[in-house]
Chain A
Amino acid sequence: MIVIEKLSKSFTNLKVLNEISFSVPSGECLFVLGKSGVGKSVLLKHIVGLETPDSGSVIVGNKKVDVSDIVILSQIRKQCGLVFQFPALLDSVTVFENISFGLRARGLLKNSKEIEIRVKEKLSLVGLDESIVEKYPSQLSYGTQKRVSIARTLAVEPEYLLFDEPTTGMDPIATTGLNQLIKKLTAQLKITTVVVSHDIKSALAVADRIILLENGKIVFDGTPEKFKSTTVKLAQEFQMGF
């Protein structure tokens, strides 16, 4: 379970998050929607301690995220997998090394054969075949890089999956594939998932619950069905855009 309590964050004079509170029960797939620059990615980064809040708290599992406590932070990060807005693959190493990096660093798998099997399994899960394992990120298209970054995150088998704009730069077929993957992970493996996005189509197709952010506040919190019928102006604008 992820609990966010009265979380506030400002950058210079701009208050991006203003006393936001919500929780994500285990196994739920939550979509956080909002216009660009509303603080969705900032919110996500607070969950794994990549941003420090001005006030408020974030609890992951039963641990409070505290950037000054390296041990706790490391434990939380080991529980979470974050798929970044950009693929964020390491340029200087191959796809295989990118995906296996976390496995080796965390000591999850030591046997080379097991690592190889895990890498291929996760590549196949995101719809990629093993022929790309020896390629470097610069040799891949943006969409493929993005899928490799998802495979890298899935390789360490996190309890919490966090996606930052996962479908940006992906073609419609890959987007549908990713949506199905998120749905499968949530339904079968009971992974708690938080997806930050402005892709309303994906949100309505995949989410168990949707939160809509505007001016640093939550203006909607409910199921996709409720989202379709809400009178919140921004929610209606999102649907009209779709």
Chain B
Amino acid sequence: MYLLGVQSVPIIFVSLGFVGLMMILELAFHMRLVLKHDALVPAFSAVLMVRELGPVITCLLLTSRIGAGIAAEIGSMKVTEQLDALKMLSIDFIDYLVIPRWIGAVFSACTLTVLSIAVALFGGAFLATQKLGTSPGEYLNTVFFFVKFSDVVRCLIKAAIFGTLIPFIAAYQGFTCGTGSAAVGEAATQAVVRTSLSIIIADFILTYLFYAI
């Protein structure tokens, strides 16, 4: 949990904080261009953050941090015969290696998603008060008016599913890794690529199921 979640906090907070700032600037620019006013910028940015960017960016960053690590760790265990040693000791390496990482990744993904959305909204609120002339109170009122409880629940469901994809795909890459250090590196790269792709595809499917049907 410490390795998977706590150590990922700085990179995720910094990234999502800047995403929150960027979103306010972009939405304000486009809304002024099209609608000639920017009153709904806080609402749109918050909805977009909770429904999409929060879980997706958090889990993509989590993938680059822990997905590669899990694949490399299990891959090197395979290369150095540690997996065979576990088999010989009658230890189920799914129980020993995958399940704890799965629990850690799901918990980390959900917690970090919520916290990173809070950081992004805080960043957005700061910029909105500076650039859009909105007070923090107005900003929060708009956010709570437009973001529904069901959005938060769906956001957590997305985070839990992405958090499940990360350790399982990474562990699979590690278990099927070839021999030698180059193969371990390749497994780590493939873990990041495939998990990232899976998260983006899963996000589309979930968004479709949640909001388009």
A interface with B by C-beta (< 8 Å)? 45, 48, 50, 74, 77-78, 80-82, 84-86, 88-91, 101-102, 105-106, 149, 152-153, 156
Task: Identify whether the interface residues of A are mostly helix, strand, loop, or mixed.
Answer: mixed
Does B87 belong to the interface (CB within 8 Å)?
yes
Chain A's nearest CB lies how many Å from the CB of B82?
5
Q: How far is the CA of A226 from the CA of B104 in the complex (A)?
A: 59
Q: Give the number of chain B interface residues (Cβ < 8 Å).
A: 12
Chain A's nearest CB lies how many Å from the CB of B208?
39
The residue among B85, B86, B90 with the most chain A CB atoms within 10 A of its own CB is B85
Contact A74 B88 (CB under 8 A): no
Contact B81 A102 (CB under 8 A): no
Q: How far is the CA of A77 from the CA of B89 in the complex (A)?
A: 8
Chain A's nearest CB lies how many Å from the CB of B97?
10
Chain B's nearest CB lies how many Å from the CB of A72?
13
- 16 A-B pairs with C-beta separation under 8 A: A45-B84, A48-B88, A50-B84, A77-B88, A77-B90, A84-B84, A84-B85, A86-B81, A88-B80, A88-B81, A88-B82, A88-B84, A90-B77, A90-B82, A91-B77, A153-B88
Chain B's nearest CB lies how many Å from the CB of A51?
10
Q: How far is the CA of A78 from the CA of B84 in the complex (A)?
A: 13
Contact B91 A101 (CB under 8 A): yes
Chain B's nearest CB lies how many Å from the CB of A70?
10
Contact A106 B89 (CB under 8 A): yes
Which listed residue (A82, A86, A91) contacts B88, Cβ 8 A?
A82
Assuming the contacts A84-B81, A85-B81, asked whether A105 and B90 have C-beta atoms less than 8 A apart, the reply is yes
